[in-house]
Amino acid sequence: MSLLVVGSVAFDGLESPYGKVERTLGGAATYFSIAASFFTPVHLVAVVGDDFTDRDAKIFQQHNIDCEGLERAVGKSFFWAGKYSENLNERITLTTELNVFADFKPKLPERYRGSKYVFLANIAPDLQRDVLQQVKKRPKIAALDTMNYWIERTNEDLMETLRHVDILMINDAETRQLSSEHNLLRAAKRIFKLGPSTLVIKRGEHGAMMVDKRGVFCVPAFPLEEPHDPTGAGDSFAGGFMGYLAGAGDKSDASLRRAMVYGSVMGSFTVEKFGLDRLKTLKRSEIHARARHFAKLTQFKL
């Protein structure tokens, strides 16, 4: 089952206690689509500028990601720069330059319009909605990610878009900001009133939590001795999660729980190295081995 994603394809400047990279390929939709491509075919909708070269395009080709929906515009690609604290838990955004995204009007290729699984990765909420409206039938699962940048600047647009999605996938700080509730379970109740029926909260080194009407399910983060760069971990989590669901073709509770594990598996690989470096060399066998490791990590008898 193919999976449609819209979001940023960007160049990032990254700085962590482990090193610094001035400019490397990144963007929410990039991490998402590469992570998801291990599970299911991916259709990508985004825009890049004329600074995006054939060399940059290679990583999408190597993962068989369908780029018919990746528009090339005149101007510079989205640019973002961020810096991490000593323990990697905090990040400050140094620069956000929308560039070609500022005038982007997504147009879905005909082949993409029947998508049953849709992920609205982190980008302006009106663009997310625009893409969703071009999908012919209501998808089996429409999920959305966002961040403080959009919660603060385009709140009304975000509220309108949220009414049309099933799963909201954000981090704990964003959950608190969006709901004005500190307690995550109370925050979930408020968020359910905005549209989504499932909330997946990404909690960095504390793993992830899924809340829906059936209850709560938690997965740990994979314990790593030397994480290097958390950039894209959330998007890779989302890619593993949605990729697994689209590949499985159902949304039963058991599948959603396994999707949480594959999300955590993909996030854990991304943080092992800078930018996309770990995803570039990743093999399917490593993904399944780590998923088995997760099963061991969380197994106990009563």
**Binding residues vs ligand AMP (CB under 6 A):** 8, 10, 12, 26-28, 80, 96, 122-123, 147, 149, 231-235
DSSP state of 50: T
- Taking the least distance from each CB to ligand AMP, the nearer of 171 and 248 is 171
Q: Which residues pair with 200 in a beta bridge?
A: 169, 210
Cα–Cα distance for residue pair 124/168, rounded to 1 Å = 15
- Taking the least distance from each CB to ligand AMP, the nearer of 96 and 255 is 96
DSSP state of 76: P
- Taking the least distance from each CB to ligand AMP, the nearer of 248 and 262 is 262
- Taking the least distance from each CB to ligand AMP, the nearer of 96 and 134 is 96
CB of 100 to ligand AMP, least distance (A): 12
Q: What is the DSSP string of 36-66?
A: HTTTS-EEEEEEE-TT--HHHHHHHHHTT-B
Cα–Cα distance for residue pair 245/274, rounded to 1 Å = 27
CB of 33 to ligand AMP, least distance (A): 12
CB of 114 to ligand AMP, least distance (A): 26
Would strands 19-26 and 10-16 be described as parallel, antiparallel, or unpaired?
antiparallel
Cα–Cα distance for residue pair 242/233, rounded to 1 Å = 14
Is the distance from CB of 275 to CB of 229 less than 8 angstroms? yes
CB of 301 to ligand AMP, least distance (A): 36
CB of 89 to ligand AMP, least distance (A): 13
DSSP state of 100: G
CB of 206 to ligand AMP, least distance (A): 15
CB of 24 to ligand AMP, least distance (A): 9
- Taking the least distance from each CB to ligand AMP, the nearer of 78 and 244 is 78
Closest CA to 85 of 13, 16, 173, 18: 16
Is the distance from CB of 67 to CB of 44 less than 8 angstroms? yes
- Taking the least distance from each CB to ligand AMP, the nearer of 179 and 236 is 236
Q: What are the distances in angstroms from CA 195 to CA 31, 35, 71, 163, 279? A: 26, 26, 30, 4, 33
Tokens of 129: 């909605």
Type of residue found at 124: A
- Taking the least distance from each CB to ligand AMP, the nearer of 102 and 289 is 102
